[in-house]
């Protein structure tokens, strides 16, 4: 925040929206530690979406599922990665639309449907993150453990409209689409 003035940039981007910036005392080694540290430090509770900042997605499929069925503990947004670099994605493995496994970047050998995981998960309760410090590096590692617990209702929902900004090529592609008025989600001045 000190180096890039992120708080001020967010203030300009989300003018008129009620939000709070939570600053951590130290750098973390990854997304999972960032989340657990913030959730525990600020005692964050209740239903939440936890999203990466390097993409923009239309979460209507998740909202529609929540409106139909309130018994979802966790919903994982997925994306068809047939035309993507699959080694760059966390992956969910589906058998009859039921999640049977999760992997980070590695590809597990199996015959099931493989979808990429988009980092914008819905959690009915953030207690899964309470008092877990350095146990995992990535959220997908925690989710892999949770799918084994039959008392937790975890579903996946395919996302069809998304823009990915996580590397210079993808960011430039989004900027080019924005300039050509083909980017649905980007709001980048240029």
Q: How far apart are CA 54 and CA 149, in angstroms?
A: 30
Confidence (pLDDT) at 185: 55
**Token digits of residue 5:** 């003035």
Q: What confidence tens digit (pLDDT) does each residue in 63-76 have?
A: 999 999 888 999 99
133 pLDDT tier (thresholds 50, 70, 90): low
Averaged pLDDT, 103-115: 88
Q: Global pTM?
A: 0.84
Confidence (pLDDT) at 183: 58
Q: What confidence tens digit (pLDDT) does each residue in 149-184 have?
A: 888 999 999 999 888 887 788 778 878 877 886 655
Residue 104, number of CB atoms within 10 A of its CB:
15
């Amino acid at each position: 925040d000190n180096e890039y003035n992120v708080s001020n940039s967010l203030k300009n981007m989300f003018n008129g929206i009620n939000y709070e910036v939570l600053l951590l005392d130290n750098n973390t080694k990854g997304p999972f530690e960032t989340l657990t540290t913030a959730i525990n430090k600020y005692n964050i509770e209740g239903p939440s979406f936890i999203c990466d900042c390097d993409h923009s997605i239309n979460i209507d499929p998740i909202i529609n599922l929540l409106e139909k069925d309130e018994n979802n503990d966790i919903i994982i947004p997925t994306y068809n990665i047939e035309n993507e670099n699959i080694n760059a994605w966390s992956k969910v493995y589906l058998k009859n639309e039921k999640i049977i496994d999760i992997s980070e970047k590695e590809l597990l050998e199996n015959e099931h449907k493989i979808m990429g995981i988009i980092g914008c998960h819905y959690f009915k309760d953030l207690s899964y993150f309470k008092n877990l410090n350095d146990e995992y590096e990535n959220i997908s590692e925690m989710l892999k453990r949770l799918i084994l617990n039959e008392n937790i209702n975890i579903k996946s929902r395919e996302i069809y409209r998304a823009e990915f900004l996580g590397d210079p090529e993808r960011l430039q592609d989004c900027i080019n689409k924005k300039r050509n008025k083909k980017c649905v989600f980007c709001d980048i001045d240029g």
